[in-house]
Amino acid sequence: MDIYSTVIPAKAGIQSLPDTFDTIVIGAGGAGMAAALFAALDGASVLLVEHTKFVGGTTAQSAGTTWVPGTHHAASVNPSDTLEAAAHYLDNAVGNRSPAALRQAFLDKGSEAIATLESKTDIKFRPYPKHPDYISDLEGSTLCGRALEPLSFDGRLLAEHFKLIRPPIPEFTVLGGMMVDRTDINHLLAMTKSWASFKYATKIVLRHALDRLRYPRGTRLVMGNALVARLLYSLSKHQNVSLALNTSVEKLSGTEVTLTQGNERRTIKINGGVILASGGFNRHPTMREEMLGKADPTWCPAAKGHTGAAQDLARKLGAHYGAVQPSTNATNAFWAPVSLRKRADGSTAAFPHFVMDRAKPGMLTVNSTGKRFVNESTSYHLFALAMQQTNSTPAYLICDAAALSRYGIGMVRPGATSGDRALQSFLDDGYLTQGTTLTVLAQKLGIDANALQATVTRFNGFAASGVDLDFQRGTTAYQQNIGDAAWSGKNPNLGALVQAPYYAVRLYPGDIGASTGLETDAKARVLDTDGLPIHGLYAVGNDMHSIMGGVYTAPGITIGPGIVFALVAAQDACTNTHHR
């Protein structure tokens, strides 16, 4: 793989590129890299164009969970699952919010996509032992088998290419850049209680200490960083792939693109097609407000590259956004509650509250009136939608001292106790608010103290009985899975708030990716307003209108379809090349 970039000045920029490629992919996130890899495997000459200096996009900063039903991995943890059951689940969850033909194409090609990657590249997955579909009370849902996890990867294998991987969100790392997944966290927390955990934790910490002698961050990559690294490593083995970083697309058609890199401009011809995988509209200067209303851009924890510029060029060719049917759980984006904190460099950290705190015992969430408004153990998408639908922004995630120590809260790590030096820094900058009593906490937050006290008293009663009469928290398999399986109470999601002091962080609804994208057919071909394919133009990932119709059905429902339709688009584009 040749890299044409100001990052690695081994080539003379885009002027060194060949005049013609079979396939050009716009955007080097997970879906774009997968599309380039599938095209390369089919023998196509491929140019992968990335606007930023990093590859990986939001995938690199995510958990990397990849939802693809019916793969060869599913049988090892859920042999009774079927594609018919998955289709039934999607029909129940999504209905007519997206074309059934596209959902079926995803199911039909999913197993092939994963099997191709694992048999012909360095990409490897494993199934989660338990990772339920998010709407786990619907028929057709499963507890495991559909959500796949990328195996960890040794970043040292990338040599000079390691620095091209988009770093993870800093607040998701420990010890100055050591990536950790849920397995690592559990061992780190238990290292003083278990010999097995002590050995495990010691091994990864020593590895990280050695890494820091040579690298700016740890090279043991997990989650989305591991998936992106495996994609890049696999691409690097193909001589028919070129990667242009720091490069923008100025003009676009199905037969050629005009690229700019610094002061250079270059027009490249295309034999087969161009695949759009630029990440969606979320940072578009005007479409963001039109699509997402008043959601502040600083609340968005996703990568910076998804400006929607490539979509604008496609729309000039007749492309259009897919239609969204407004409902209580479908919008133009996928969401998560985030908390905000200023970093030392002046940037703002938007920390997504996915699974580590809000659904745990000893925690609840209230609005400015001091009352609960949501089932705290629902999916992060539905949680953030509830914030918007009930005008509960900011919301306040509240816990007692015992829950803070056991689970942490947001950017505050587990194990924190009152008086800790590390904890004090969060209090000093206002990220965390502390109250010696609930009344004091309410006063500091500016909410009604009597209402908060009444809310906590009622909630503590639910914790004692194990039944949340107001929001039915902890009643589904998904909710219980993100609770505390080791909790001694009657419900893994419910625990009383009784141990002072009390703490709170402010939550905001952050968009984590676009669900609305360019309308395509089942071959990922971009359609015009008459419903006809635009010659040579494809869209995958968040540039493609989500087959979920804006409903967050399961973990990894952006990366999974992104990879599968990357295969679909690459195969069709390569067919066009072969027919020329």
Asked whether the beta carbons of 415 and 423 are under 8 A apart, the reply is no
Q: What is the pLDDT of residue 327?
A: 61
Beta bridge partners of 47: 24, 242
Q: What percent of the chain has pLDDT over 90?
A: 84
The CATH class given to the 333-511 domain equals alpha beta
The string of pLDDT tens digits covering residues 104-148 is 999 999 999 999 999 999 999 999 889 999 999 999 999 999 999
Residue 19 pLDDT > 80: yes
Residue-averaged pLDDT of the chain: 94
User: Which pLDDT tens digit goes with each residue over 41-79?
Assistant: 999 999 999 999 999 999 999 999 999 999 999 989 999
> What average pLDDT does the segment 407-424 reach?
89
Rounded to whole angstroms, the Cα distance separating 7 from 316 reads 32
Per the CB < 8 A criterion, the answer to whether 385 and 510 are in contact is no
Structure tokens at 170: 């800093």
Which of 5-14, 250-259, 358-367 is predicted least confidently? 5-14
Among the listed residues 296, 287, 334, 337, the one whose alpha carbon sits nearest the alpha carbon of residue 314: 287
Q: Rounded to an integer, what distance in angstroms lies between the CA atom of residue 165 and that of residue 459?
A: 44
Each domain of the chain, given as residue ranges in start order, spans 1-173+223-330+515-580, 178-216, 333-511
Q: List alpha helices for 466-513, DSSP H.
A: 477-481
Please report the pLDDT score of residue 172 as a whole number. 86
pLDDT for the residue numbered 580: 56
Whether 49 contacts 249, CB under 8 Å: yes
Other CB atoms within a 10 A radius of the CB of residue 111 amount to: 18
555: tokens are: 């973990």
Q: Per-residue pLDDT for 419 more than 80?
A: no
What confidence score (pLDDT) does residue 325 get? 72
Asked whether the predicted pLDDT for residue 8 surpasses 60, the reply is no
What pLDDT is recorded for position 189?
A: 79
pLDDT above 70: percentage of residues in the chain:
97
Q: Which residue has the tokens 């209108």?
A: 545
In the predicted model, what is the mean pLDDT of residues 140-164?
96
Q: Which residues of 128-156 are buried (b: 16+ CB within 10 A; e: fewer)?
A: beebbbbbbebebbbbbbbbbbbbbbebe
The string of DSSP codes covering 115-137 is: HHHHHHSS--EEE-SS---SSTT
Reported as a single tens digit per residue, the pLDDT across 483-537 is 999 999 999 999 999 999 999 999 999 999 999 999 999 999 999 999 999 999 9
Q: Single out the residue of 310, 306, 307 nearest to residue 251, CA to CA.
A: 310
Q: What is the pLDDT of residues 260-277, one digit of tens each?
A: 999 999 999 999 999 999
> Contact at 8 Å (CB) between 216 and 152?
no
Q: Following DSSP, what letter does each residue of 63-112 receive, concatenated?
A: ---EE-TT-TTHHHH-TT--HHHHHHHHHHHHGGGS-HHHHHHHHHHHHH
Give dist(CA 351, CA 336) in Å, integer. 9
- pLDDT at residue 356 is higher than 80: yes
Task: Please tell me whether residue 334 adopts helix, strand or coil conformation.
Answer: strand
- CA distance linking residue 437 with residue 499, whole number of Å: 9
Q: Retrieve residue 94's tokens.
A: 């999504």
Give the pLDDT band of residue 433 (cuts 50, 70, 90).
very high
What's the topology of domain 1-173+223-330+515-580? Answer: FAD/NAD(P)-binding domain (3.50.50)
Using the predicted structure, report yes or no on whether residue 482 has a pLDDT greater than 70: yes
Nearest to 178 by CA among 233, 222, 240: 222
Q: Provide the residue type at 311 as one letter.
A: Q
In angstroms, the CA 508 to CA 395 distance is: 7
